[in-house]
Amino acid sequence: MKKIVAFVLAMVMAVSLGIGASARLVGDINSDKVTNSSDALLILKYVVGLEKGLNEKYADVNGDGKVDSSDALSVLKICVGLYEGELEVEDEKVETLKSKYIDPIITSNKFTLKTTVEQDSEKIPVTIMVDGKNMATEMTYSGMTLRILILNGQTYCVMPKFLLGQDVYGKLVGGEDMLDFGGFGTSVELKFVKSEQVTISGKTYTKETYRIPGNSEYTYTENSYYFLGNSWKILETTTYTSTIQNGEKVWVEEKESQTIDSFKAGVDASYFKLSGMNIGEINMDELA
């Protein structure tokens, strides 16, 4: 159960992150927080058709409205200290499919997300409802429907069919420092990296990739949102961790992907009610 709850919280966090303006380095084409010859090489590969999905706004380093070898030269000048322009600029907010179709639902503080989680080779349908500081998660596991409620900082495990519930204490989630689920995006913002077209099983998706700021120089995370038309279909989270191999710094990636069955504004208020339930008490620290 703790594993699924941790997954749910991670999903809500990933969904709720907003897109904000931030400073960026001129010439940092691959968004690795440094401008170097790798960025110049990316531009040259793009110019000759060996690189796709490049962010042309970032790659147009000299601002002449096109991406060509002169932009790669500008990057190399930055590397050796010969560039005379600004080295850091304010990056404006961009309108993307996420900002257009996900963020407005999030800022309403009431939304419903449906997905499917695999555990022990079983596919478990999961419904997540967020109503400000309250969250309801319902799943059907081994033929039994279980609902986890977070109401005003307190957590309950409920079996609706039997009108049974448990008042959960311990340190699963909740408590005095309970986060406002619907307000995650107000404190942490994603940095837009790129938008590209990808084909999976014959279907062409728009893939938008964002970087979560504030990570150390040794690790960072990127979220990718896949859309079919205006519908959000997949959330992909990639964690990059640096390591030293043969004396050189190498980035190792760990990727997780989750399908989105549906995502919409609003909640079913009945999910958040405990009236008529026989509420007992258990300590979640005693559960494996």
CA atoms of 117 and 125, how far apart (whole Å): 6
Q: By mean pLDDT, which of 71-80, 120-129, 187-196 is the weakest?
A: 187-196
R_g over Cα of the chain:
23
Q: At what angle do helices 37-47 and 69-80 cross, to 10 degrees?
A: 180
User: Residue 72 has what pLDDT?
Assistant: 92
Q: What is the mean pLDDT of residues 51-69?
A: 86
- Residue predicted with more confidence, 186 or 260: 260
Helix (H, G, I), strand (E, B) or coil at 171: coil
Q: Please, are residues 210 and 231 in contact by the beta-carbon 8 Å criterion? A: no
User: Residue 247 has what pLDDT?
Assistant: 85
pLDDT digits 0-9 by tens, 206-234: 999 988 765 567 888 888 999 999 999 99
- Distance, first Cα to last Cα, the chain: 8
User: Residue 4 has what pLDDT?
Assistant: 58
pTM: 0.66
pLDDT digits 0-9 by tens, 165-189: 455 544 444 333 334 444 444 345 6
User: Residue 142 has what pLDDT?
Assistant: 76
Average pLDDT over the chain reads 78
User: Residue 169 has what pLDDT?
Assistant: 46
CA atoms of 190 and 1, how far apart (whole Å): 29
User: Residue 123 has what pLDDT?
Assistant: 85
Q: By mean pLDDT, which of 13-17, 25-29, 119-123 is the weakest?
A: 13-17
User: Residue 40 has what pLDDT?
Assistant: 93
CA atoms of 207 and 210, how far apart (whole Å): 10
- Find, among 83, 15, 9, 70, the residue nearest to 44 by Cα: 70
- Find, among 190, 179, 136, 142, the residue nearest to 158 by Cα: 136
